[in-house]
Structure 1
């Protein structure tokens, strides 16, 4: 937990920028600085942000206010992102943030596949920091949740799937059983439209505790799998782990009855990313030495790429040898921030 105030300063800097740039690329800075702060690297947050800042664009203009009466027609309209952020800022100012989250989570969950899953990831980072400072009223952290929820609502995009395929016993086996799309080209929306069916790994889960356990297993398996399959697409395959981990981190803030459906949505996201970007076969990966979790975190910071930082953050939730190998593999495959 960051107690220096650095994270709040960084979030205040970032809230003058939009959630995307160039009309399609996500602003990863809020997620990356939260990851750094959560891993005890607050001293480097502003320096990292200075390097990333040239990628940021100004906050977009508003179109028309989103209200309780018209929100359904604005859902999924990316032109309305500023309107949506304003709507959630007002809602969180009037009611406890957990109450707003619980109301909107089931509305937004079916569309967590828009924005290449970045909106739910941003929400997961925001919720983690709010949970770590429960009882405090840090305005930038509450505003960050509003920005994440608003981005999610504006990019809301459901996925249409056919009947489920036969399942598998473990998360690792289920990911191995995911059929790859025939043509792995084009952007995220183009590829997502080609995903027609996924293994039925989660549909029988009804108990909240089982949902949390399964989701933890999924995040661990997807993280481990990056070490052997990340070469398929070093950036996008990060989301097979970080998207479900965002959901996992949010569970403690949600009513228990929402946990099973959260698991199913997270599985769909992880499996869909796998179908869209994973290579046909994995490779044996041997890390370049033995490193402690702290050393891996320092190597990710020195590398600087936002996806490397976020995957390392997820890997450190587990800290086992294969998870750390996944983080090191991302460092090896990805272009550093410069």
Structure 2
């Protein structure tokens, strides 16, 4: 049985579980198993799920159906997550999934900061499975679960002043001001982000889709590389500075080109905000052991088992540079293993 068909089995197993546990912590299993299957580690998927199983909760209760007429009142209401998943399940059953994504992406994009950016990351993994491996019922259902989670946790960012920017993504991330009081959870910290550098400084409108993609690639690369020297600020949360924009990057090919530029700008805000919220007091130097192949790095991530490490290493392999592999090894070093 191929790795990607093991993914379908795993998704079927996971769709009886909710997108969160304890009312706030994200279920990372659908994202992690997609990464494992896509990287050729299908035989490890169910073993990994067995280890992660204690972090899963039952699918939440339904309230009332979300409809085309009243969806706005349900947007951003986490109590309606089951209703939203049902809504997108109907949508993807009735229409091509790309049409559903194109309609809802601009509606959801302003609120990609809810759920600690995990909903858009889940959607990015679902889209990769669909675009690279084809449509199956479990993969379509996974997209519905991801979009439903995003709609339920939809949370826009407002009141962020534009600060002096920089020509490159790395320099712009270096200019992000850290919070004066880096305490509290993600929503509390996000509310205290009051200013972020402008990046990119050039005008990238809807008619410059290819340039938007190039700049988004640059952002993912910069955020991934930067983890090696800054990840100790919060080894878990700082991976999202790279994995959230990479989820957007993975989704671009399935979106109409006029949506690529606004996707870049939303991804920058997410990456910069996470950088501000969890910045260390100072960077550290880090030199990774040389001669390690991408396949060996991913095998080490799998052996470590932490869901954030697996997803970050998956992004690092997308970037494909030696510095990205070093950042993945740093994440393995800093993070608590799954036991």
TM category, shorter? over 0.9
Query: In 2, Cα distance between the equivalents of 1:3 and 1:43?
Result: 7
Give CA-to-partner distance per residue, 1:64-87, whole Å, 9 cap, x none: 100000100000000000000000
Partner of 2:311: 310
* 1:101/1:254 contact within 8 Å kept: yes
Give CA-to-partner distance per residue, 1:134-179, whole Å, 9 cap, x none: 4xx3000000000000000000000013331111000000000001
Query: In 2, Cα distance between the equivalents of 1:281 and 1:174?
Result: 16
SS in 1 for 2:336: coil
* 2:113/2:155 contact within 8 Å kept: yes
Query: In 2, Cα distance between the equivalents of 1:274 and 1:144?
Result: 29
SS in 2 for 1:89: helix
Moved more, 46-55 or 196-205: 196-205
The structural deviation recorded for 1:3 is: 5.1
Q: Give runs of aligned pairs for residues 164-203 of structure 1, distance below 5 A.
A: 164-202=162-200
SS in 2 for 1:164: strand
The structural deviation recorded for 1:287 is: 1.5
Partner of 1:7: 7
SS in 1 for 2:183: coil
The structural deviation recorded for 1:133 is: 2.4
SS in 2 for 1:317: helix
Q: 2:157 aligns with which of 159, 172, 177?
A: 159
Moved more, 27-36 or 276-285: 276-285
The structural deviation recorded for 1:4 is: 5.0
Give CA-to-partner distance per residue, 1:181-201, whole Å, 9 cap, x none: 110000000000000111111
Partner of 1:224: 225
The structural deviation recorded for 1:290 is: 3.0
Partner of 2:59: 59
* 1:35/1:309 contact within 8 Å kept: yes
1:109–1:296 CA distance, 2 compared to 1 (3 A): same
**TM-score of the superposition, structure 2-length normalised?**
0.97
Give CA-to-partner distance per residue, 1:38-77, whole Å, 9 cap, x none: 1111110010011001110000000010000010000000
* 1:202/1:263 contact within 8 Å kept: no
1:258 equivalent to 2:259? Answer yes
Structural RMSD (CA): 1.0
Q: How many residues matched? A: 335
Moved more, 116-125 or 155-164: 155-164
